[in-house]
C-alpha cells in the first residue's frame, strides 16, 4: 500500500530571533557532517560542513556545533529571516565510507513568523 | 553558470513502463549520486558513481538502473520492477576526494498514472 509520510519536527521562530536546529547522528565513526537547506520543490542547498576534528565552525549568519561525546550536531542561525523558512537536513559520512556516501537525517522544518 | 540540471521537472509513468530521468552537471565533478526522497523523509541513496564507466548500488537500488558513459551525465532509469516509484528524485555531484560536499539539482517528481 501507499506509505504514509512522517510528520517532520517543526521549529517556529520569530523574525530576528536566533534559531537552533538539532540533529542526533547514529555512527560514532562518522568523520564529516553537512547541513543542507531545502525549500519546497527544490533540491537541498549546501549551507555549511564540519569535520570531526573540529567542535565549531562559523559561516555567514550560521554556526555549526559538533559534540562527538553525545553524537550531536546543531545548526545555529542568527537573526532568522523569512527567507530562512525551509526544511533543514543534517548528513553524516562514516570514516570507512567508500564513495563519499552520506546518510541523511529526517529533517526539521523551520517556520519564521514575521 | 555551473550547476546540476535535472529533467524533466515532472514525469508520469504508466504501468509496466520504464522511464529515464536525466542529470547533467558542468561542475567538472567526478562523483555523481542519485537519491530518492519520500514525503516528510530524508534522502535515501539509490546509486552512485565515482568515475566514468563505474557505478555502485546504494541502499535502495532494486528496480533502478544507471549508466555513466560521460563525466557530465548520470541518467537514472526507473524500471517496471520498481513497484512504488512515486517520489522526488534528486541527483547530486561532488569532487573526488575525502570529505567533499555534494551539490544537488532541483529534482524530478515522478508519479504513477
Looking at residue A101, the DSSP 8-state letter turns out to be -
Instruction: Enumerate the residues of chain B whose CB falls inside 8 A of the CB of residue A73.
Output: none
Q: Answer whether B18 touches A (CB < 8 Å).
A: no
Q: What is the mean pLDDT of chain A?
A: 89
d(CA A47, CA A89): 10
pLDDT tens-digit map of A9-36: 999 999 999 999 999 998 888 899 999 9
* Residue position matching grid coordinates 523523509: B41
Q: Answer whether A67 touches B (CB < 8 Å).
A: no
d(CA B15, CA A31): 43
B-facing residues of A in 5-34 (CB < 8 A) are 5-8, 31-32, 34
pLDDT at A3 over 90: no
Instruction: Enumerate the residues of chain B whose CB falls inside 8 A of the CB of residue A42.
Output: 106-107
> pLDDT: is B86 or A7 the higher one?
B86
Residue A7's pLDDT band (boundaries 50, 70, 90)?
low
Instruction: Enumerate the residues of chain B whose CB falls inside 8 A of the CB of residue A41.
Output: 106-107
Contact B12, B111 (CB under 8 A): yes
Q: What is the mean pLDDT of chain B?
A: 93
Which of A86, A106, A102 is CA-nearest to residue A43?
Answer: A86
Amino acid at each position: 500500500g501507499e506509505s504514509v509520510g512522517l510528520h517532520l519536527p517543526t521549529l517556529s521562530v520569530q523574525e530576528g530571533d536566533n534559531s537552533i536546529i538539532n540533529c542526533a547522528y547514529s555512527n560514532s565513526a562518522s568523520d564529516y557532517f553537512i547541513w543542507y537547506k531545502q525549500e519546497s520543490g527544490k533540491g537541498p542547498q549546501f549551507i555549511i560542513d564540519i569535520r570531526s576534528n573540529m567542535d565549531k565552525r562559523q559561516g555567514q549568519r550560521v554556526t555549526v556545533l559538533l559534540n562527538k561525546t553525545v553524537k550531536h550536531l546543531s545548526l545555529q542561525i542568527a537573526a532568522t529571516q523569512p527567507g530562512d523558512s525551509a526544511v533543514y537536513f543534517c548528513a553524516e559520512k562514516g570514516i570507512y565510507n567508500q564513495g563519499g556516501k552520506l546518510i541523511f537525517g529526517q529533517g526539521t522544518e523551520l517556520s519564521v513568523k514575521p | 553558470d555551473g550547476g546540476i540540471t535535472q529533467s524533466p521537472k515532472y514525469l508520469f509513468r504508466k504501468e509496466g513502463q520504464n522511464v529515464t530521468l536525466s542529470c547533467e552537471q558542468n561542475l567538472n565533478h567526478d562523483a555523481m549520486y542519485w537519491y530518492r526522497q519520500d514525503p516528510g523523509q530524508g534522502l535515501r541513496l539509490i546509486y552512485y558513481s565515482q568515475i566514468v564507466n563505474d557505478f555502485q548500488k546504494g541502499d535502495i537500488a532494486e528496480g533502478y538502473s544507471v549508466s555513466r558513459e560521460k563525466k557530465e551525465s548520470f541518467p537514472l532509469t526507473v524500471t517496471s520492477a520498481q513497484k512504488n516509484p512515486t517520489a522526488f528524485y534528486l541527483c547530486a555531484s561532488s569532487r573526488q576526494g575525502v570529505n567533499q560536499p555534494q551539490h544537488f539539482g532541483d529534482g524530478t517528481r515522478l508519479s504513477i498514472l
